[in-house]
Amino acid sequence: MTDLLQLLYDIPIVGLVFQFVAYLITTIPVVAPIILRVATPIGFAALCGVVCERSGVVNIGIEGIMLTGAFVGWLVGALLAPTLGGFAAPIFGLTPALVLGVAAAIGAGMLISLLHAWLSISVRADQIISGTIINIAALGMTTYLYQLLQQSSLGGGAGAFRVFLPPAALTDLPFVGWIFRTLLNQGPLTMSLIVITVFIQVALFRSRWGLRTRAVGEHPKAAETVGIDVIRLRYRNVVLAGGLAALGGAVLAMETTSSFSSGMTAGRGFIGLAAMIVGRWTPLGALGAALLFASSQAISQALHFVAPPGQLGELLASVPPQFYDALPYLVTIVVLTGLVGRSLPPAADGQPYQREAAA
């Protein structure tokens, strides 16, 4: 078997491909927990997009909602930590300040989404422009307020959630141990992404709410004729989806790190929209696409620490590090280019709805 592999590796050009595939097979189980952590903010952004667009509302402002959620969650946690600090639960390192910070982040995201819903549904403004305004305003306001807070005596925050340490009896199992380590060696917000994704997937395709949501996104006039309140349902879904996007921001400021920085979302909201499209507007598909995009980032990081041996390692080492930094965005563009015309959104996506006047 070893001789056969070496024979394949020695084939010019093609051998490099075989070496890279073998490298991925051995590396992905090791970096799988990192992949899930990197994918979590993107996954929450993608879920926000799925719920909004399945309801017929385009939400380009996911990036701004995530950034606001990250800032508000960090700020509330930092303000409450001095008075509520001291007690930390043995699991996940839960503290009252962290929990209230996450709740504040969700509330801030829902409040901004309410603004987007009002502009998109009631005012019937252009939904792309509305979302763009939210992104610009969120970046400007959070940057300005953060600079002001840096000049104050505010502490460094409320800390961060700790990852759960699964028992070795699970993680040491042959073949499947790395799967348990990937799913369980995470913080609470990352774990919640899996639960929320499965819940929304089931609800969207197996519940009355899901049927009504899909009907409103496909043909709102027909939905109205059977007694569905299109305006109310769109409002509710867009506001709830904002809480999901804000959770993605909270992951960055309260689980991945314990601090806030200007523009820390770094385009993850837009990558989440791309994951939604690649996943064909389904929660599980969107999560799978988020994992795909995150894999490119995690593997590019692994190449810096454990490069493959031989000619492949020499070739990858000669690539400028800036290329690896841009790799997740390049993968996003390539995948989206291959899906142009193949992935169709809900029929009424982005179309304002106006009730017909009573006769």
Question: Helix, strand, coil proportions of the chain in percent (round to 5)?
Answer: 70, 0, 30
Closest CA to 292 of 306, 272, 308, 307: 272
Residue pair 72/218 in contact by the 8 Å Cβ criterion: no
Residue pair 118/352 in contact by the 8 Å Cβ criterion: no
Closest CA to 78 of 262, 254, 244, 246: 254
Lowest-pLDDT range of 27-41, 138-152, 185-199, 327-341: 327-341
Task: Quickly tell me which residue has 């901004």 as its tokens.
Answer: 112
Higher pLDDT, 123 or 340: 123
pLDDT of residue 212: 97
149 band by pLDDT with thresholds 50, 70 and 90: confident
pLDDT of residue 15: 64
pLDDT of residue 42: 96
* Mean pLDDT computed over 111-124: 96
pLDDT of residue 16: 67
pTM of the model: 0.92
pLDDT of residue 153: 64
Measured distance CA(96)–CA(154) in Å, rounded:
18
Closest CA to 124 of 132, 135, 116: 116
358 band by pLDDT with thresholds 50, 70 and 90: very low
Give tens-digit pLDDT for 300-343.
Answer: 777 777 777 767 777 777 778 778 778 778 888 888 887 666 77
pLDDT of residue 357: 54
Give tens-digit pLDDT for 55-106.
Answer: 999 999 999 999 999 999 999 999 998 888 667 788 898 999 999 999 999 9
pLDDT of residue 313: 74
pLDDT of residue 183: 94
* Mean pLDDT computed over 209-226: 95
359 band by pLDDT with thresholds 50, 70 and 90: very low
pLDDT of residue 152: 72
The interaxial angle of helices 188-206 and 230-251, nearest 10 deg, is: 160
Q: Is 126 helix (H, G, I), strand (E, B) or coil?
A: coil
Task: Quickly tell me which residue has 């995150």 as its tokens.
Answer: 294
Residue pair 155/83 in contact by the 8 Å Cβ criterion: no
Measured distance CA(155)–CA(79) in Å, rounded:
8
Structure token pair of residue 154: 């505010």
Rounded to a whole number of angstroms, the CA Rg of the chain reads: 22
Element (H, E) at 129: helix 127-150
As a whole-number percent, the residues of the chain with pLDDT over 70 amount to 91
Signed CA dihedral, 209, 210, 212, 217: sign only:
positive
Structure token pair of residue 133: 């305004």
Instruction: Give first-to-last CA distance, the chain, whole Å.
Output: 79
pLDDT of residue 6: 58
For the cut 80, the answer to whether the pLDDT of residue 17 exceeds it is no
